[in-house]
Amino acid sequence: MNLTIENILLVGSILLFISIIVGKTSYKFGVPTLILFLAIGMMAGSEGIGGIRFDDPKTAQFIGIVSLNFILFSGGLDTNFNAIKPILKEGLVLSTVGVLLTALTLGTFVWYVTDFTIYESLLLGSIVSSTDAAAVFSILRSKNLALKNNLRQTLELESGSNDPMAYVLTLAFLTLVINQDLSIASIIPMFFQQMIFGGIAGFGFGKLSKIIINRIKLDFEGLYPVLVIALMFITFSATDAVGGNGFLAIYICSVYLGNQDLIHKATILKMFDGIAWLMQIVLFLTLGLLVFPSQIIPYMGVGILISVFLILIARPLSVFISLLFFKMKLRRRFYISWVGLRGAVPIVFATYPLLAGIEKANIIFNIVFFISVTSILIQGTTLSIFSKWLNVALPEETKPIAENERYILNLPKSAMKEIDIHKDSDAVNKRIIDLHFPKSAFISMIKRNGKFVRPGGTTIIKPNDTLVVLLDNEESLTEVYAVLDKKQ
């Protein structure tokens, strides 16, 4: 079947529906949903029962980049900076030094066991060098896996921030494969340009986006998530246009925004969570359609060899060397080594050699696809088992609720207080968003002139208002009074 304008929505919606229904029951059998999305795409493809002919790496790459924007941005918005602050150094070292070591170690191994040149081998190693944000986020969160000592935050920080490093390495070694007269030293300036420009742009656009979101007055609440989408794509494309790393920029931007007081923040977070799931499904379905299973079979032997080396040697070696100077229990290092999930990102990066037209592009793509599938199957299905074996999982009854999850769910508070606003209060004529209310409390209602006003981020506090405040506990009241500059 060839996709046309007339049937693309029907076929796409049917595949999406099947993916959601199948994914709903997949974890009863211990199978990650992502692998099922890939399988459904493959079954619908030209060599499957669907017979859909899709052989367009350029379109697949475009869908991949758009999807990764949403997945990384959503992951960043949901990252609590206070939670990752204690492990920030470990996470950043893993996402930079760890990725580089994985690429070099695996690339060297590929060079020994294949007929690839050293640059082609390092290109393949770079493509699969990062852990996959979509795989890690979806598997950890759908399993509701709670881990000890900020371990989960370390894994999510690493997976969310290491794609930029893998992207730069992929572009660098692809350049060397195409231009073999160049030296490794010639790509170093590009590396620093990508990372420095990406970091600066991410922080800059994050601060600018906060100002725009909180200052602009839109008539409908539903427009605020649309505004954030526009800002996300502007951040990515503008950073890329000046030679910076767009993936790094949007991740830094989203982490910054996720830890600020924003108008209609709950709506924005919920919307991005839903779209991130949609993008994961679309991305894996697209990549499943793109692959030809018959072309993978000849490379299964070398694929298994490379996968085993990556899982058992390259990944653990890079983790242990990267964390050498940090105080960390051995079992924690082993678990970080095991959660080296590869997923859609390496497959998306593997489309770059295809579009560049290098000699072994198809071989690289098929090997990378096989590595990603085996990683999700082997590592993705055993995360819970290994967490218990290594004693890094929290007991079910002690699982904490993440701060951002509390914010989204608006969980019931244990105390309520009515607070009168006098004309000399610092809160008068200020928007609620500008009060920076503590997260342990929120204004549920405002009594004004005998009527009840439903509060929002842009609601302005007036003299003689009575705030109905819900609190986590009585102690939170002190923080509320401090914000309102009111004596008890």
What is the spatial order of strands in the sheet that 415-420 belongs to?
A: 415-420, 466-471, 441-448, 451-453
The segment with the largest mean pLDDT, out of 141-145, 235-239, 460-464, is: 235-239
**Which CATH fold would you assign to the domain 412-484?**
Alpha-Beta Plaits (3.30.70)
Residue 27 has pLDDT above 70, yes or no: no
The segment with the largest mean pLDDT, out of 32-41, 267-276, 409-418, is: 267-276
Residue 353 has pLDDT above 70, yes or no: yes
Q: Residue 137: which pLDDT band, with cuts at 50, 70 and 90?
A: low
Q: What is the pLDDT of residue 235?
A: 96
Nearest residue to 395 (alpha-carbon basis) of 84, 148, 28:
148
* 276 vs 393 pLDDT, higher one: 276
**Which CATH fold would you assign to the domain 8-398?**
Na+/H+ antiporter like fold (1.20.1530)
Residue 399 has pLDDT above 70, yes or no: no
* 369 vs 415 pLDDT, higher one: 369
Q: Where are the domains of the chain?
A: 8-398, 412-484
**Contact between 240 and 192 (Cβ < 8 Å):** no
The per-residue pLDDT for range 233-288, each reduced to its tens digit, is: 999 999 999 999 999 999 999 999 998 888 888 889 989 988 988 888 888 888 88
Q: How many C-beta neighbours within 10 Å does residue 9 have?
A: 9
Q: How many C-beta neighbours within 10 Å does residue 231 have?
A: 22
Q: What is the pLDDT of residue 328?
A: 83
Q: How many C-beta neighbours within 10 Å does residue 330 have?
A: 9
Residue 145: HSE in the Cβ half-sphere, 13 Å Cα cutoff? 28
* 460 vs 149 pLDDT, higher one: 460
The DSSP symbol for 314 reads I
Burial class (CB in 10 A: 0-12, 13-18, 19+), 2: exposed
The segment with the largest mean pLDDT, out of 124-133, 163-172, 233-242, 385-394, is: 233-242
Q: What is the pLDDT of residue 414?
A: 57
**Contact between 107 and 121 (Cβ < 8 Å):** yes
Instruction: Indicate the helix (H) or strand (E) that contains 323.
Output: none
Mean pLDDT over 388-397 rounds to 73
Q: What is the pLDDT of residue 403?
A: 43
What does the alpha-carbon distance between residue 272 and residue 73 come to, in Å, rounded to a whole number? 8
- Torsion region of 187: left, alpha or beta (phi above 0 gives left; psi -120 to 50 gives alpha): alpha
What does the alpha-carbon distance between residue 408 and residue 414 come to, in Å, rounded to a whole number? 17
Q: What is the pLDDT of residue 4?
A: 60
Q: What is the pLDDT of residue 255?
A: 92
The per-residue pLDDT for range 187-232, each reduced to its tens digit, is: 888 888 998 999 999 999 999 999 999 888 887 888 999 999 999 9
